[in-house]
Structure formats: C-alpha cells, structure tokens
Structure 1
C-alpha cells in the first residue's frame, strides 16, 4: 500500500543540485572568468565537460576537487589556466545560492518533519549551504562524516543508524533528491520511499549530474521543492 505524507517522521535531502543551485553556481562562476578573459562561453558545454572530469579515476572530494576539475576543463573551454583561477572556482562555492523555493519550502516542511541533509560535499561547504538555507536541518551528513559518497549504500546506512538511535526507522523516511544516479535509484534499492525533484524538467539531459544506467520511477515526483511543500500542506490537516 502506497504511503502518504502523514506516514513519515523524517525527510532526508540531497543538498547540492536539489536545494542549492549547483548548475547555476558552477556555470555562473565559470562564465565570470570567461567574461573577464573575453572568450565565448557555453553553459551546457561546460556542464558536459564538468561531468566527464568530475568522474575521472583520480576524483577527489567535492568541492576541493574543483581545483583539479578546472585544470581539466579550462583548456577545452578556452579559459585561462593557472592555480589562481582554479582556486577561485573552488572558493566561489561558498557563495552558491539556494534555488528560489528551497529556503521557504524547508521552513514549512520542518514544522512537520525532522530534516536530515545528506551531501557528497565536504563539511566546510555544507556549513555555508546550510546557513544560506536558514539552518533547517535536524542533522547533516557529509562526505567527511561518512567517508564515502552516494550512491554508496554505506552512506545511507549511517543515516539509518542515526535515525534508529532516535527510535525511528527507515520506513519513516522520505528521501528527497534530484539525482537519479546518486539518490533515487539507490534509495529504491534500500527500501526507502523517495521523492524526485526534477530540477531540469524544462531542459534536456542530465546536465552536470551523471546519467543513471536506468531510470527509476519515484514514489513522488515534483519539479520544485515548493511544489513538494504545497502538496504536504494540502494533504495533511494542520
């Protein structure tokens, strides 16, 4: 029997790409460098190059890995090389902004659920993201805390252990994310109810996120966090 919003005690969230405008932040940061250098710039090309570079064998933790990534993609985009520009891209992450609907939606959802962040970003970056979002989280798990990245089941297992210590269970979790590869597919395999926030609904392809081997049909599907919060409020009596 399908679950309703009243069946959950927790909502777990991917952060970068779901709540924080990752593609807008990355493209905007690279575009600023291109503008200063006086070279043409294509945002979708940059995302495609980023995706390929991000998943090379020598990948490091995000966002420190942006220094390495810049060195890979800059020549292909005609951008100036050098450590200073690479470091500039990495440092710009602290100023990446939430999607316009994220902060309000999280504040509304926090009235009904315990919100837990699950991000492949490092702790230093998550602290900036959380502040930008209004610090709505009951708990936050980063790659520094877990020692691994989604879609590794071990990341999720640490969150399950935390919830169980509070007397909860994975059956009481709704996992909310935009990435089919990192979140929706693996959450289904682990028995979680999930909610796909399709941020790129008006665009083709997967942008800066790796394409999954197969598409997973989510339990809930919205194109924004605002739509999720609206649905929760409309279906639950205060």
Structure 2
C-alpha cells in the first residue's frame, strides 16, 4: 500500500452488507414467518440457501428477486408456500437496519470526502437505505442506473465517468466494501485502492455473499466502519 487517506477525494461504498445488515434483515423475516408457522429457522442455513438461490441463472434484480428466492428456499426450510410470504421477504428490504456504526461513521467521513454509493440493489430500495443511513451520499449508483451488477467492471466505469465529470480521477477514489467477490477483487483488478470492511470477522464463511474464487488482500482492512472513521480522523487534520 503506497497511498494515505489524504490522497483521496472520494470514498465509494458498497451498501448492502457493508452499511446495511441485509443478512439480519433476511434471516429476521424468515424467522418471523417460521415462528408464525411453528418452524425454527437456522439463520446460517437459511443464508446458504439464499446465496445459492440468489445466483441461479433466472435471478432478477435485487431485492425484487427475493420474492422468487423465497419460493426456492421455503420448502427446504419447512416454511409455508405462498406469494404473500415472498412479497413479505422482498418488501422487508425497506425496513432493513443499518449496522450500528454505519450512519455515525459515514457522517464523520463526509467531513473529509465526497461519499458515493455503489449498490447492486434497485433504486427503490437504495432510497430507503440512504434515509436509514442519514442521506450522507454525494451521489448514488444502483443496478437501475448502470444496467449491470458488480463485479461487472462496467458498474465501476459508470462511477469513474462521474468523478471525471467533476474534475477528478479514479485514482482519487478509495473503494470501501465487505464483499470480496463483488467489490474487493474487481476493484483491485481495475487499479483502485480498496478497503475491506470484514463484517463477518467473528463468523465463519461468507454468509449470504458468494464466495470468491480467490481471496484478495486489501489495501486497508478493518472490521467495522467505526474503525475506518477512527483511522481517517487520526491521519487527517481536523
């Protein structure tokens, strides 16, 4: 790593999984449905089934796709069938919680950088997420805006063109994310500096996120957004 926090004008963020606790949101809704049906739901098992279903060839845009995903995984979890339950899982995205440190850390970081959201979620869901996070973003890019999902390089190129329109260059971006598969690996291949927020540091496996073919050593590595904000404030003038 040759860059310092002073070298960046922008921080770009994965949202779902880095700032918003989508695993807790999904397993929470499944557990609620299970309780109503008298079925206990194992959260990690549910996430493994979700991950497999989410990356089927017929997958649609997220989180609308959660209605389809429910139909795939419900029988394997012993949960009741019915479109109303799939809709409940999908619509629950509007109420997913931020990680406890996300909003405060973003507010601190916004004092030093322009913050840009990069999410594979649809615009309707991102608008809920942004409000939950305190609307800290200078700009936001969704699957609806780019027509593609990370780790497609074209998603990142949309952001590159945006910062160039503001007179900056891609090497002035620090990309912050929890997903090795969707963000850390591809950002390295595109020559970006990256920061891995290892949200599952106390848990085994990759949870609801697809496992990468290979691990990418990040430029910066923290286990929370608060730790990133602390490190930035310690290295930059107030």
The TM-score normalised by the length of structure 1 is 0.99
Q: Which residue of 1 aligns with 2:225?
A: 225
Rounded to whole Å, the distance in 1 between the matches of 2:23 and 2:199 is 10
Following the alignment from structure 1 to structure 2, what is the Cα–Cα distance between the partners of residues 202 and 4?
A: 27
Paired residue for 1:9?
Answer: 9
**Post-superposition offset of 1:33:** 0.4
> Which runs of 5 or more residues in structure 1 are unaligned?
none
Q: How many residue pairs were aligned? A: 238
Specify the alignment match of 2:176 in structure 1: 176
Instruction: Determine the structure 1 residue equivalent to 2:71.
Output: 71
Q: Name the SS for the 1:2 alignment partner.
A: coil
SS in 2 for 1:57: coil
Cα displacement string for residues 49-107 of structure 1 (whole angstroms, at most 9, x for unaligned residues): 00000000001000000000000000000000000001011011100010000000000
Q: CA deviation at 1:40?
A: 1.5
Give the aligned CA root-mean-square deviation in angstroms. Answer: 0.6
Helix, strand or coil for the counterpart of 1:140?
A: strand
Could you tell me how far apart the structure 1 residues matched to 2:233 and 2:42 are?
A: 40
Q: Which runs of 4+ in 1 moved over 3 A?
A: none
TM-score computed with the length of structure 2 as normaliser: 0.99
SS in 1 for 2:150: coil
Deviation at 1:153, TM superposition (A): 0.1
Shift of the alpha carbon at 1:138?
0.1
Q: Which runs of 5+ in 2 are unaligned?
A: none
Equivalent runs, 1:81-230 vs 2, <5 Å: 81-230=81-230
Which secondary structure state, in structure 1, belongs to the residue aligned with residue 145 of structure 2? helix
State the distance in 1 between where 2:59 and 2:210 align.
Answer: 14
